[in-house]
Structure 1
């Protein structure tokens, strides 16, 4: 498995809008393209306007294929356009690719 940590620097004042977009639509669209979200987090210091989530992929090739299908999805393109009419919801996205360590197992 390949895990993708995505860290969004959210535009100040737009956190609720991006959370709503994920909750109401984006997670469902991800699922259409075999993109599994393991969890979401918000920075404990909410003034930092950071959102974190992890996607689980079979491997790097499936990540590329599924993510491209998501980006090309007409429902996603319409949603993004509609929810960003007043400007973007995030300033940047940092991505970290991870794999599980061999020594730690969750029961």
Structure 2
């Protein structure tokens, strides 16, 4: 089991669009596909707006299978296209794998 910390650096002034896209339809698609979310946070510092979230995975195989299904989902593809009609809403993206220590509260 591991966690994945995902960070989206938003295009200036577009954090609200990224949040809206997650609210509708991304979270629903995640739920249907069994992608377990732990939490979401936003941050605005040093002139940058970020959406940060944490996912929980049982294995790398589970992650690969479910993320592939998500990326092919027509609702996601439509939402991405329509939310970026006026230009990109995400400037950059990063993901980190986090493995809990033996003393972590999240196991």
Two-structure CA RMSD over aligned residues (Å): 1.5
Could you tell me which runs of 5 or more consecutive residues in structure 1 were left unpaired when the two chains were aligned: none
Residue 59 of structure 2 is aligned to residue 53 of structure 1: no
- Mapped partners of 1:11, 1:44: distance in 2: 12
- Mapped partners of 1:19, 1:46: distance in 2: 19
1:50-83 residue CA offsets vs partner (Å, 9 max, x unmatched) = 1100111111110011000000011111111111
Query: 1 or 2, which has the higher strand percentage?
Result: 2
Match of 1:62 in 2: 62
Match of 1:27 in 2: 27
Task: Note the C-alpha offset of 1:27.
Answer: 0.7
Kept after mapping to 1: 8 A contact 2:38/2:55: yes
Could you tell me which runs of 5 or more consecutive residues in structure 2 were left unpaired when the two chains were aligned: none
Q: Pairwise mapping of residues 33-48 of structure 1 onto structure 2 (< 5 A)?
A: 33-43=33-43, 45=45, 47-48=47-48
TM-score, scaled relative to structure 2: 0.91
Number of aligned residue pairs: give it. Answer: 106
Kindly report structure 1 stretches of 4+ aligned residues shifted beyond 6 Å.
none
